[in-house]
């Protein structure tokens, strides 16, 4: 079944609350079992010990904490520079650390990033691509894992966020989320987003719950400690997208999660030809 067909089924289920709630409860049970297997006891205990430490809490006490944007990219130089990075550089909040890691880009990505002439941006290009599965759907689930994990190791921020290389954020996003996360002391924040449908029309995804199909890489914002939870290149073996594979582990850890009501993200349909 194609991803478009699956998305259509998901949208249909979302319109029938009893079915939606029942399926979500099944997902939650399965996610709990998987996460118990994936997250070691030592890691779980360390998180709960560290979250009350002065170093952990210091992120909330700074007036202008540093925010790291971690971006993985592959041969979308124009979209990356003109849409994604431009929307980051247009943020009303300026204390940013932007790490862009190329998955062995062979186009002009490096030149386009350099031409933006902003010293908040760092670009690293991997010498070879990640070893992803050959099956197109499985590959889609985990593509970008290798550069994203490198970006996490390079991030210096008190808080971490992401943006796909062909999407964009509204200019007030970081300023509002910083204020919200400092006041609420949340460790993980997500928000609604606009999603482009195959017909070119935009649909608002309200994202009421912290669960599969409700959060996406570019709609999250979280405490730097969680950068220690990497993307798993084998997430496809669970038939699970890499972003949700990672976020269900956040959920299992028991992070204080909160939803911000504004849709700060425009999530475009992938059009690889748009970069040619």
- Residue-level pLDDT at 267: 97
Give the pLDDT confidence of 93-149 residue by residue, as tens digits.
999 999 999 999 999 999 999 999 999 999 999 999 999 999 999 999 999 999 999
- Residue-level pLDDT at 275: 36
- Residue-level pLDDT at 9: 57
- Residue-level pLDDT at 2: 55
- Residue-level pLDDT at 22: 56
Overall average pLDDT of the 237-257 stretch: 96
Q: In the chain, how many domains are there? A: 1
DSSP 260: -
Residue 66, domain extent = 3-275
Looking up residue 179, the CATH number of its domain turns out to be 3.90.550.10
Q: Are 160 and 229 in contact (CB under 8 A)?
A: no
- Residue-level pLDDT at 221: 98
pLDDT band with cut points at 50, 70 and 90 for residue 20 = low
Angle made by CA atoms 200, 168, 106, in degrees to the nearest 5? 95
Q: For the chain, give the percent of residues with pLDDT over 70.
A: 87
Give the 3-state DSSP-derived string for 116-129, with helices as H, strands as E and coil as C.
CCCCCEEEEECCCC
Alpha helix ranges (H) inside 143-276 = 145-154, 173-184, 242-253
Q: Which residue in the block uniquely carries the two structure tokens 């950068």?
A: 227
Overall average pLDDT of the 31-40 stretch: 84
- Residue-level pLDDT at 73: 98
Overall average pLDDT of the 57-79 stretch: 97
Q: Are 189 and 255 in contact (CB under 8 A)?
A: no
User: Distance between the two ends of the chain, CA-based, in angstroms?
Assistant: 28
Q: Element (H or E) spanning 28, and its range? A: helix 17-38
Q: Element (H or E) spanning 72, and its range? A: strand 67-73
- Residue-level pLDDT at 32: 74
- Residue-level pLDDT at 46: 98
- Residue-level pLDDT at 218: 98
Q: Element (H or E) spanning 267, and its range? A: strand 265-267
Angle between helices 41-50 and 242-253 (to 10 degrees): 60
pLDDT band with cut points at 50, 70 and 90 for residue 36 = confident
Beta-bridge mates of residue 97 = 68
In whole angstroms, give the CA distance from residue 3 to residue 227. Answer: 28
């Amino acid at each position: 079944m194609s991803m478009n067909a699956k998305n259509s089924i998901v949208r249909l289920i979302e319109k029938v609350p009893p079915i939606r709630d029942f399926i979500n409860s099944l997902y939650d049970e399965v996610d709990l079992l998987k996460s118990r297997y994936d997250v070691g006891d030592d890691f779980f205990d360390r998180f709960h010990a560290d979250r009350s430490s002065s170093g952990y809490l210091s992120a909330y006490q700074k007036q202008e904490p540093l925010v790291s944007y971690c971006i993985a990219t592959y041969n979308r130089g124009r979209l990356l520079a003109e849409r994604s990075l431009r929307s980051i550089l247009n943020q009303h909040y300026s204390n940013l650390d932007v790490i862009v890691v190329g998955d062995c880009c062979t186009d002009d990505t490096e030149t386009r990033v350099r031409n933006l002439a902003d010293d908040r941006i760092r670009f690293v290009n991997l010498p070879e691509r990640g070893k992803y599965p050959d099956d197109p759907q499985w590959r889609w689930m985990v593509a970008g894992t290798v550069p994203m994990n490198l970006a996490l190791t390079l991030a210096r921020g008190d808080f971490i966020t992401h943006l796909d290389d062909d999407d964009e954020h509204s200019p007030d996003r970081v300023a509002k989320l910083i204020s919200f996360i400092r006041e609420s002391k949340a460790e993980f924040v997500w928000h609604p987003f606009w999603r482009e449908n195959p017909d070119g029309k935009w649909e608002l995804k309200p994202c009421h719950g912290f669960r599969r199909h409700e959060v996406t890489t570019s709609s999250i914002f979280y405490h730097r400690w969680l950068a220690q939870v990497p993307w798993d290149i084998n997430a496809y073996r669970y038939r699970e997208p890499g972003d949700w594979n990672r976020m269900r582990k956040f959920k299992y850890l028991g992070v204080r999660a909160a939803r911000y009501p504004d849709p700060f993200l425009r999530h475009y349909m992938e059009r690889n030809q748009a970069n040619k």
